[in-house]
Amino acid sequence: MNIIILLVFIVGYIFIASEHIIRINKTATALLTGALCWTIYILSQTNSDAISVSLIGQLGEISSILFFLIGAMTIVELIDSHDGFEVITNRIKTKNKRTLLWIISIFAFFLSAVLDNLTTTIVFVTLLRKLVPERRERLIFISMVIIAANSGGSWSPVGDVTTTMLWIGNQITTTNIMLRLFIPGLVSLLVPLSILSFTMKGKVTLKDVVSNEQSTKRAINKKEQNIVFFSGLGVLLFVPVFKAITHLPTFMGMLFGLGILWLITEMMHKRKDPEHRQSLSVTSALQRMDMPSVLFFLGILLAISALQFTGQLAHLAGIMNREIGNFNAIAINLGLLSAIVDNVPMVAASIAMYPLSHFPTDHAFWEILAYCVGTGGSILVIGSAAGIAAMGLEKIEFFWYLRRISWLALIGYFSGILIYLAEETMLHF
Q: Which pLDDT does position 209 carry in this prediction?
A: 43
- Mean pLDDT is highest, among 93-102, 103-112, 337-346, for 103-112
Give the whole-angstrom CA distance, residue 63 versus residue 67: 6
DSSP assignments along 186-252, one per residue: HHHHHHHHHHHHTT--SB--PPPPPPHHHHHHTT--HHHHHHHHHHHHHHHHHHHHHHHHH---HHH
List Cβ neighbours of 187 (8 Å cut-off, separation of 6 or more). 412, 415, 416, 419
Span 321-330, pLDDT tens digits: 777 778 888 8
Span 284-321, pLDDT tens digits: 888 877 788 788 878 877 887 888 788 777 777 677 77
The backbone region for 247, taken as left when phi is positive above 0, alpha when psi lies in -120 to 50, beta otherwise, is left
Give the whole-angstrom CA distance, residue 154 versus residue 182: 8
Find out whether 34 and 336 touch, Cβ atoms under 8 Å.
Answer: no
Instruction: Say if residue 384's pLDDT is above 80.
Output: yes
Instruction: Give the predicted TM-score (pTM) of the model.
Output: 0.73
Q: Which pLDDT does position 429 carry in this prediction?
A: 61
Q: Place 44 in a pLDDT band, splitting at 50, 70 and 90.
A: confident
Q: Place 256 in a pLDDT band, splitting at 50, 70 and 90.
A: very high
Calculate mean pLDDT across residues 8-22. 81
Q: Which pLDDT does position 288 carry in this prediction?
A: 79
Task: Name the β-bridge partners of 96.
Answer: 203
Q: Which pLDDT does position 345 carry in this prediction?
A: 60
List Cβ neighbours of 96 (8 Å cut-off, separation of 6 or more). 203, 204
